[in-house]
Amino acid sequence: MIVELGPRVAVVQGGVNIGVLRGEGGRLVLVDTGLNETAAKKALKAAREEVGGEVAAILTTHAHADHFGGNAAVVRRTGARVYAPAFDEAILRYPLLQPASLYGGADPLDSLRGRFLLAEASPVDVVVDAGPLTVEGIDLEVIPLGGHSPGQVGYLIDGVFFCADVVLPAAVLEKYKLPYLFSVTDHLRALERARTTPCRVAAPGHGPVLESLDELVALNRGLLEEVGERVVAMARQPTTAEAVLAGLLTGYGAGGAEASGFYLLQPTAFAFLSHLQREGRLRHEIRDGRAWWEAA
């Protein structure tokens, strides 16, 4: 279903929300493309039939397969130019970097090579930086929202804020319990930046379009604070990162029994350890061939 958000802005709502922007001369710009070719073809059909025009560019918010997995299919059909943020753009071009990073930088398990973690490679024509950007005659602003991924960005157009996965709706948090995070430190900053970005409406990567992000920012920040307290409590006696991960997965009922769920959340546990050590709440020590963590 496509929802009009303004004279030049619409969104195709689904598992991943895909923005459609009206540029000059009937040229359209997509914000993300969804998980795969199927999602991309649906978005293209909606853009062509309900908005009118041809897709000439793709604005990628971040390098997770569910957001850029349809890029290659769109490019094949339209020749669209792909815009992506720094750092994340490397993963678009070399998608194996994503499951490899989850697996400690090594050759990932075959079970980590499914469509949710390993997208088809996408070209990248333009690396975007924070600040003003003009694409197909559309003046917009790139908002840095790193944390969920290293270089995640949002796009602000005519008062509509495509804010990617800086906030996850209550239904997603209820289902998955814990979000994937590259950096807790950066994500907390991104939540505040998203909260204070003036906009008419916000279109998160998942869930409904919102008039205000305040409630979801508070929900997502509250979960991070709660998890941080749990990690510090687990470290009252010296512990390992593996034990912290196990405590979070079992305590929240997250991850499931599949390797993909386990390895997807391993970086999140490590990100909390880094953040809490940076804040002076944890100490880190290498001893007896193991890494130890203890509350400061």
Give the chain's domain count: 2
Which of 245, 235, 227 is CA-nearest to residue 284?
Answer: 235
Residues 65, 178 share a domain: yes
140 has pLDDT over 90: yes
Place of tokens 């409630």: 215
Domain region containing 246: 224-295
* Average pLDDT for the chain: 97
Of the residues 186, 213, 240, the one at which a domain ends: 213
Same domain for 233 and 135: no
Q: Whole-prediction pTM value?
A: 0.97
pLDDT for 147: 98
pLDDT of residue 214: 98
Give the tens place of pLDDT for each residue, 166-182.
Answer: 999 999 999 999 999 99
Sequence-ordered alpha helix ranges (H) in the chain? 37-46, 65-68, 71-78, 88-93, 97-102, 170-176, 184-196, 214-234, 241-252, 259-278
CA distance 158 to 210: 15
| 243 in a structural domain | yes
Q: Which CATH number is 154's domain given?
A: 3.60.15.10
Q: Both 175 and 43 in a single domain?
A: yes
Per residue in 22-72, pLDDT (tens digit) is: 999 999 999 999 999 999 999 999 999 999 999 999 999 999 999 999 999
Residue 32 is assigned to a structural domain of this protein: yes
Per-residue tokens: 114: 């499914």
Question: For residue 1, what pLDDT is reported?
Answer: 78
For range 229-246, the mean pLDDT: 98
